[in-house]
Amino acid sequence: MLGALAYLGLDVLVLWVAFLAVHAHPVPGFGVVVMAYIIGALGGSLPLPAGVGAVGGIAGALILYGVGHEPAIAAALLYQAIGLLVPLVGGAISYMVIRRNLEPIPVAAHGSSG
């Protein structure tokens, strides 16, 4: 339970910090960002490619809560980009480490039975 709450809190924190990264003035309150994140998560359940439903839901909720159009869309897109790039970079590093430690797979002779 603690891990799930930590994941939620840190994920919302990434979205809130995205507003700082796009130089939004004023930066919306943390409660507004939490509500937009939760509403956007509902949009993420729509079967659209690349999480477009979540990005649109988060940006739309932020706009409804009074955040400007440009900062809301920019922060939501930056949040989604970070969410896609972090696992990609971590996976690539892991793959390179695993491949370096593995030996080649031996190939059985053509005529032998297993």
Encode pLDDT of 40-87 as tens digits: 888 777 787 766 778 888 999 999 999 999 999 999 999 999 988 999
Q: How confident is the model at residue 111 (pLDDT cuts 50, 70, 90)?
A: low
What distance in Å separates the CA atoms of residue 81 and residue 48, rounded to the nearest whole number?
Answer: 16
What distance in Å separates the CA atoms of residue 13 and residue 50, rounded to the nearest whole number?
Answer: 21
